A and B are shown apart, each in its own frame.
Chain A
């Protein structure tokens, strides 16, 4: 299947989910008024990927800001990754946060406690 690539804007993140390499990335700001609309194509794409996942999928989340409606949509992304992990495929989620951004670290820890997929918290030191 073809990768899904969505260019970022000041309010929406860059999405690069490469189904050939098994490397997925969400990067930037996710603060749109209608997050459901933005994340819908991504979750639909993941529904297809879940049928034929690679042996290993690495997910890199590098968010600067996200709003509460995005937080639910991102959880929906993680729930699909959890289903892939449950079907005996390797999934690793790398949660990047900027130095001293304790709120972003806590947000990653929230997801880690909800989703049964290995999370790695990675501090970006400037």
Chain B
């Protein structure tokens, strides 16, 4: 099968990608990506409010990959099968777009779609209450708090989360998530 995670971003209108990584997402990679992104944001004298939002969304996006990317399908070429993903950050006219791609098992697709639909159809006040409810009432696991990262990204950006799933085989789908980070 010739599918690559990169195929998931091929239909995006990418004009000014300032960060791109595909591979195993471990702590060391997360540190390097964050350092690199922060360096770029500082050297371009980006608006501090926007810079902080971008950094926050990048942290949650990378840690979503770290905690929630499922193993790659057998037969897919990856240096390591676990915690494999793609992250890309682009400068846009109004801010930054942060995109992640990873594999999820087919059984998780509906669960993720339900979460994302709920987030995208909620008002900012509802998102805030949802965040507080999960924060206050859900037990934390070694993977964090269920769905709080996605809610946090939505809350910080104030924009709809764009996503798509592409069937890979009967057991796996490839998942793309994009967040537009802007300030008024």
Contacts and interface: CB of A to CB of B under 8 A. Distances in A.
A123 interface: no
Interface stretch (B7-15, B90-98, B110-118, B143-151): B143-151
The prevalent SS among residues of B at the interface is helix
Nearest to B150: A68
B161 interface: no
Given A31-B59, A69-B63, A114 B52 contact: no
B60 A33 contact: no
A38 B37 CA distance: 25
Interface residues of B, number: 30
Contacts of A68: 60, 144-145, 148-149, 152
Contacts, number: 66
Nearest to B25: A33
Given A33-B30, A71-B135, A100-B48, 7 more contacts: A36-B140, A65-B59, A69-B145, A72-B135, A75-B135, A100-B49, A101-B49
User: 6 smallest A-B Cβ distances: which pairs?
Assistant: A69-B144, A68-B148, A72-B140, A68-B152, A68-B149, A31-B59
